[in-house]
Amino acid sequence: MAPLTRRSFCGSLLLLLGVGTLTSCGDDAEEPRQKIISVNQPTKLPEWLTVRDAIEPSLWLRSREVGRLVLPSDPEVDRLRRAMHQATLRFFEDQRMIANRTAQTADMLAEAGQSERYVDIMTGMVDVADATVSKKAYGDMVQHYLNLRKAGMDRTAALASLTASYKAEKSQK
Tens digits of residue pLDDT in 34-86: 433 333 445 688 999 999 999 999 999 999 999 999 999 999 999 999 999 99
Tens digits of residue pLDDT in 148-173: 999 999 999 999 999 999 888 766 65
pTM of the model: 0.73
The answer to whether residues 164 and 118 touch, using CB atoms and an 8 Å cutoff, is: no
Q: 28 — phi, psi (to 5°)? A: -80, 95
Closest CA to 105 of 144, 136, 132: 144
The reported pLDDT for the residue numbered 167 is 86
